[in-house]
């Protein structure tokens, strides 16, 4: 169902809900019918099933066959079953080690799931209740505030500057402003791309700014993230490179051992000439002994021990590995396809460049004209990612937001609007009233009649505007997100806090360029690759 194409009242009707939310009775009934709001998990294998899978490994099968042959040979010659005992001990140890490692990994993963179990705010019987996210049902009215994790797919019914970070689904590190209006399809368009559905919020995304309400339309495996999980479940599981090599080795060894044993058996009979029953038995036992000796009984145990060492080393680096073979598989990876946001990059906007003649004023204005907060003992700001970057930028300039807020209290504001692409805040500063306005550079510069030049206010000219726009484009061409800032002074408090009244005749301060920087590990890995290539090139040069 394309709820983003429906009016709010129509959506509420289709999910049989209302603005006051469901009653507890309705919620319980729906949960019984539709199940929990969580992704389905594969059924856990029984210990018996795991043991059978372990035994069905080609190398283990070969060892068990060897054990059977050794038992036959020992019985025929009335010798002790020492070889049989050793082979079976190897098989048992190999199986137990694999089971123990898998059990440890599963226990750790289950503990992490319990630790990260989220809670959600919903309206039940018209009252606000905080429940487990897995108890959310279709039709619930969820309350969304900055920092909340969206528990299910939902249609937005109320938005107060609501912004959502959807990197987990779209890969975009910048937040998306949410609206309540109906969306319309373009010509020849069957559906609107996920990243452009601005009146919907999706499970797995995070509220980065503002607040709002939404009515749940899909839960569990029916959500967008659930569909991704389902496609992963349906993906065919392939054997690992190690399993493939071990299977090939088992087949090759089996063929060679059988061939040599037959050859030895035939040659031994032909050499004696006079074939008797005793000769056949002795020759058979010799061929069997040769076969047993040729099979590397210790190989599976050695492989398991080596893989266990690898698992232990990974665990020390906080990497949980459930299957032992995954260690070797990771080492065989040649290409990794990954979304950059949060994987190659830090998923954290950071100011990397500025264009201004008054860096201190620019940092101060950007921080004051933001809703993000930062505590005295914290390095990271809390709020919308872009504003977090501005507040952290100001702190690096020795202007922490908590001190600025105390010294220059906000007395009014005009919230950010996606149509204006601007935000303004008004502050008291040493008996003066000062307004700071930040937003898109190409829009803000056209509202400025002056600009700061070496501490002096100079009239804005078309030449200066063109220069500002040119530098703005240069920043954009570097893949930087640009935000500009300006200010304006008043003799007394404004009587109206409206954009048309206040956002004009501004004094341009400058702008900053932000980007989601690469993780430090990416730079280290790149340096290692360059060093490796350099060495290779040197080694391959002709004298």
Nearest CA among 112, 89, 106, 92 for reference residue 46:
106
Structure tokens at 278: 């005793």
Burial code (b: 16+ CB inside 10 Å, e: under 16) for 347-371 equals bbbbbeebbbeeeebbbbbbbbbbb
For 235, counting Cβ atoms within 10 Å of its Cβ (0-12 exposed, 13-18 middle, 19+ buried), the class is exposed
In the three-class reduction of DSSP (H, G, I as helix; E, B as strand; rest coil), residue 244 is classed as helix
Q: How far apart are CA 158 and CA 439, in angstroms?
A: 24
What DSSP string describes 453-486? Answer: ETTEEEE--HHHHHHHHHHHHHHHHTT-EEEEEE
* Residues contacting 513, CB < 8 A, separation 6+: 351, 352, 353, 354, 355, 475, 478, 480, 481, 482
- The reply to whether 430 belongs to the active site is no
Active-site option among 9, 110, 140, 339: 339
Structure tokens at 88: 């079976």
Q: Which residues pair with 130 in a beta bridge?
A: 121
Q: How far apart are CA 129 and CA 124, in angstroms?
A: 7
Please state, in angstroms and as integers, the Cα–Cα distance from residue 306 to each residue in 240, 316, 319, 327, following that order: 16, 16, 17, 10
Backbone CA torsion sign across 381, 150, 120, 108: negative
| Residues forming the active site | 339
């Amino acid at each position: 169902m394309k709820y983003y194409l429906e009016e709010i009242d129509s959506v509420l009707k289709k999910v049989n809900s209302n603005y006051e939310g469901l009653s507890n009775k309705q919620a319980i009934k729906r949960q019984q019918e539709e199940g929990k709001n969580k992704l389905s998990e594969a059924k856990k294998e029984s210990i018996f099933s795991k043991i059978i899978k372990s035994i069905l490994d080609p190398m283990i099968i070969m060892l068990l066959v060897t054990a059977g042959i050794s038992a036959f040979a020992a019985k025929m010659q009335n010798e002790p079953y020492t070889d049989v005992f050793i082979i079976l001990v190897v098989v048992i140890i190999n199986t137990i080690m694999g089971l123990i490692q898998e059990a440890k990994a599963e226990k750790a993963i289950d503990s992490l799931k319990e630790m990260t179990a989220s809670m959600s705010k919903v309206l039940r019987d018209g009252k606000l209740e905080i429940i487990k996210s897995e108890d959310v049902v279709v039709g619930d009215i969820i309350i969304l505030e900055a920092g909340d994790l969206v528990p299910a797919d939902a249609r937005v019914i109320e938005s107060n500057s609501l912004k959502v970070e959807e990197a987990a689904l779209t890969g975009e590190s910048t937040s998306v402003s949410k609206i309540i209006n109906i969306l319309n399809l373009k010509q020849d368009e069957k559906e609107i791309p996920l990243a452009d559905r601005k009146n919907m919020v999706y499970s797995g995304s995070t509220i980065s700014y503002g607040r709002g309400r939404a009515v749940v339309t899909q839960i569990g495996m029916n959500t967008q993230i659930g569909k991704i999980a389902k496609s992963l479940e349906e993906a065919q599981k392939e054997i690992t490179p190690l399993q493939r090599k071990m299977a090939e080795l088992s087949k090759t060894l089996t063929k060679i051992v059988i061939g040599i044993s037959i050859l030895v058996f035939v040659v031994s009979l032909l050499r004696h000439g006079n074939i008797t029953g005793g000769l056949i038995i002795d020759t058979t036992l010799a061929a069997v002994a040769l076969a047993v000796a040729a099979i590397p009984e210790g190989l599976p145990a050695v492989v398991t021990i080596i893989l266990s060492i690898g698992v232990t080393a990974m665990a020390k680096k906080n990497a949980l590995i459930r299957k032992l073979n995954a260690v070797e598989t990771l080492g065989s990876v040649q290409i990794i396809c990954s979304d950059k946001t949060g994987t190659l990059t830090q998923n954290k906007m950071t100011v990397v460049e500025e264009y201004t003649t008054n860096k201190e004023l620019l940092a101060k204005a950007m921080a004051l004209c933001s809703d993000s907060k930062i505590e005295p003992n914290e390095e990271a700001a809390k709020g919308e990612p872009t504003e977090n970057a501005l507040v952290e930028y100001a702190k690096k300039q020795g202007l922490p937001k908590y001190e600025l807020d105390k010294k220059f209290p906000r007395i009014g504001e005009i919230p950010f609007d996606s149509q204006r692409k601007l935000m303004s805040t008004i502050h008291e500063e040493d008996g003066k009233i000062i307004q700071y306005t930040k937003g898109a550079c190409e829009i803000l510069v056209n509202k400025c009649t002056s600009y700061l030049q070496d501490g002096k206010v100079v009239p804005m000219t078309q030449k200066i505007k063109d220069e500002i726009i040119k530098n703005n484009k240069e920043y954009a061409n570097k893949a930087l997100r640009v935000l500009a800032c300006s200010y304006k002074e008043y003799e007394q408090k404004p009587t109206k806090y409206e954009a048309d009244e206040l956002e004009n005749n501004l004094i341009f301060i400058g702008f900053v360029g932000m980007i989601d920087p690469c993780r430090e590990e990416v730079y280290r890995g790149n340096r290692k690759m360059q060093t490796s290539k350099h060495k290779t090139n040197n080694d391959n040069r002709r004298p």
